[in-house]
Structure 1
Amino acid sequence: MTAPTATDDAPVLLAELYDHVLVLTLNRPDRRNAINRAMRKELKRQLWRADSDDGIHAVVITGAGSSFSSGVDLPEALSGPSPRTEGPTPTQVLRAISKPVIAAVNGPCYTGGFELAVNCSFIIASDQAVFADTHAQIGLLNGWGGSALLPRTVGSAAAIQIILSGEPIDAATAERIGLANEVVPHEGHMERTMAVAHTIAGGHPGAVQRMLRLLKDGAGTSVTHALALEEEARVTFRTSDADVGARYGKRRAAPAGS
């Protein structure tokens, strides 16, 4: 699978369903996929759709063309109503939904686009990906959760350097510091991302969603609290023995690499 190519009359966000995986493509390549009001609105709508649709088990977010996203469309944001009037931010929705979301970062991923990726469940990067948070350099503050989540991903010292300096980080460095789970040659980037997404989507939907919530709720808490959350989930979550047995048998019978 290759990333979609946009046309002038295309919507600002493409939504395509592949089996149980919803692929959302930021679709303003002429503006390096700057996130404008229309894109924010549609992104939130599609994420809530994914959350409520039992046929969608995982989501992938990527960018059209050569960029993931340059961030919020600042000329639009500075000339009209504040984004604060729009209700929840896209990243608040990302943190709230129950489905795993993979950021398939295919190129430059800056500022608001960087925060969007950091709020996803994890990042799979193309070897052409470049990351930067330029908020402080241009006189802005994080507003989409970057200052809260980045230290929990890469550690406090690395987060301070990234956020205060605004210096770009290449894909190899992103992988080394734990910002990206994997770096994949650009030509096979979406194929690898979709393979991971379909593997996740092939799991038990209820267990995947409950484990994701458990991991989110336990992140940053004490070990004691995280263990208590796990025990509570274990006691309250129920899957039939027949379902577990059938899925176990299917996994055992599957050929290697499937």
Structure 2
Amino acid sequence: MTEAPRNPVTPEDQRLLVEVDDRIAAITLNRPEARNAMSKRMRNDIHAALKACDANDGVDAIILTGADPAFTGGVDLREVAAEGPPGPGGDRRQAKDPARACRETSKPLICAVNGTCVTGGLEIALSCDFIVASERARFADTHAKVGVIPAWGMTALLPRAVGKRMAKEMTATARFVEAEEALRIGLVNHVVPHSRLMAHARRLAGQIAAATTPATPATLRIYDAADGMSFSEAKALEEELMRNWKVDTDYMERRGLGKGG
């Protein structure tokens, strides 16, 4: 029998790498020659990859990272410039919002920041549940400096991470926050040697996978939903969800949990 011809693999197909091992999915932005600037194709692929990992019963935690030397600065500005203005003669077809895709992912999502993480890249990192930073990581919000308004959640996410005054300073100055300062101001969870970044992220993901039940992502989403609420409002939300929660006994049995485990 003659095999059906396969579509050739193109460089664009390799711009996003996805690997699943030991219940951990690792998604890597793989355009190092452009410092992982994200084309429309890449943004759509990130959205699709996160949705696929979220739906995969063999995945308990997800790591999002970039190929050295950078995490990402956001959209590919050269592609944007080449599109031309909106309207006749221009191509302004929209791509998926990767930061929103991160926030909509129900499974614990770790951002492993390996280098420069600015503007749209920072919005993506802030949209993840945890940030592990290499000692080479540096963060900045340059939206205002280049004359644009954020669209992926910066003004909502950054002050929640570092406080309103620091968020305003980062935006107004567009200065870089180095890894150790990022740890000090609460922007990241951990700072580790560059060579140990993925090992550390995988260890954290492994701890999550070992402890995961259906209640894990549900509880993390309560943190998100309650952000900004008063204590009484947040407590009422927690109680409402707890009253309606049904333990997945089949899942607990499959994982050997719930009986002293």
Alpha carbons 2:43, 2:95 under 8 Å: kept: no
Structure 1 counterpart of 2:4: none
Tell me the secondary structure at the aligned position of residue 230 of structure 1.
helix
- Is 1:64 the counterpart of 2:67? The answer is yes
Distance 1:57 1:84, change over 3 A: farther
Following TM superposition, by how much is the alpha carbon of 1:10 offset from its aligned partner in structure 2, in angstroms?
6.3
Following TM superposition, by how much is the alpha carbon of 1:84 offset from its aligned partner in structure 2, in angstroms?
7.2
Alpha carbons 2:214, 2:248 under 8 Å: kept: no
Question: How far apart are the structure 1 equivalents of 2:228 and 2:186?
Answer: 16
Tell me the secondary structure at the aligned position of residue 70 of structure 2.
coil
Question: How far apart are the structure 2 equivalents of 1:134 and 1:208?
Answer: 34
Structure 2 counterpart of 1:3: none
The amino acid across from 1:79 in the alignment is A
The amino acid across from 1:247 in the alignment is L
- Is 1:42 the counterpart of 2:45? The answer is yes
- Is 1:31 the counterpart of 2:39? The answer is no
Following TM superposition, by how much is the alpha carbon of 1:249 offset from its aligned partner in structure 2, in angstroms?
6.3
The amino acid across from 1:239 in the alignment is V
Structure 1 counterpart of 2:24: 21
- Is 1:247 the counterpart of 2:250? The answer is no
Structure 2 counterpart of 1:75: 78
Stretch moving more, 74-83 or 206-215: 74-83
Structure 2 counterpart of 1:254: none
Distance 1:44 1:241, change over 3 A: closer
The amino acid across from 2:223 in the alignment is L
Structure 2 counterpart of 1:175: 183
Of 212, 237, 243 in structure 1, the residue corresponding to residue 245 of structure 2 is: 237
Alpha carbons 2:113, 2:137 under 8 Å: kept: yes
The amino acid across from 2:142 in the alignment is T
Structure 2 counterpart of 1:102: 110
Structure 1 counterpart of 2:15: 12
Distance 1:20 1:246, change over 3 A: closer
Stretch moving more, 225-234 or 123-132: 225-234
Tell me the secondary structure at the aligned position of residue 211 of structure 1.
helix
Tell me the secondary structure at the aligned position of residue 71 of structure 1.
coil
Alpha carbons 2:115, 2:137 under 8 Å: kept: yes
Structure 2 stretches of 5 or more lacking a match? 1-9
Bigger Rg, which one: 2
Following TM superposition, by how much is the alpha carbon of 1:97 offset from its aligned partner in structure 2, in angstroms?
2.1
Identity %: 39
Structure 2 counterpart of 1:134: 142
Question: How far apart are the structure 2 equivalents of 1:189 and 1:250?
Answer: 33
- Is 1:146 the counterpart of 2:159? The answer is no
Following TM superposition, by how much is the alpha carbon of 1:96 offset from its aligned partner in structure 2, in angstroms?
1.6
- Is 1:205 the counterpart of 2:213? The answer is yes
Alignment of 1:215-230 (within 5 A): 215-230=223-238
Structure 1 counterpart of 2:193: 185
- Is 1:214 the counterpart of 2:222? The answer is yes
Question: How far apart are the structure 2 equivalents of 1:32 and 1:241?
Answer: 46
Alpha carbons 2:29, 2:71 under 8 Å: kept: yes
